[in-house]
Amino acid sequence: MSAHDVVVVGAGLAGLQAQAGSVSSANAKTWIGEWTLTMQGGRGPMERALTIKDAAGKVAATMGGGRGAPIEIADVSMKGTDLVLKFKQMGRGGE
């Protein structure tokens, strides 16, 4: 990883709520913006849009849902200089 990485951790769906994380937008200025992630799926690599924005002074993130609805990422934290986004999503095989 470089000095500034976005770490995205995902698993199966478990009632996500759209809300800003606990990371101050001022501490995550490097990350605010539009990103394209390449993720390994069941049918190979798939590109997903990731939006990281300021929501009343806190970091909020939304990932394009591929074939489903967008995913609001509520669990946003920092580990050193890395921005960590954790979410859950249901796949074809369940979680």
pLDDT in tens, 54-93: 999 999 999 987 777 888 888 888 888 888 888 876 666 6
Instruction: Report in angstroms the alpha-carbon separations of 17 from 24, 41, 43, 45, 93.
Output: 19, 24, 28, 27, 23
Q: How far apart are CA 82 and CA 63, in angstroms?
A: 18
Q: How far apart are CA 70 and CA 67, in angstroms?
A: 9
* pTM metric for this prediction: 0.71
Q: Is the pLDDT of residue 51 over 60?
A: yes
The one-letter amino acid code at 4 reads: H
Q: How far apart are CA 46 and CA 93, in angstroms?
A: 17
Q: Coil, strand or helix: which one is 70?
A: coil
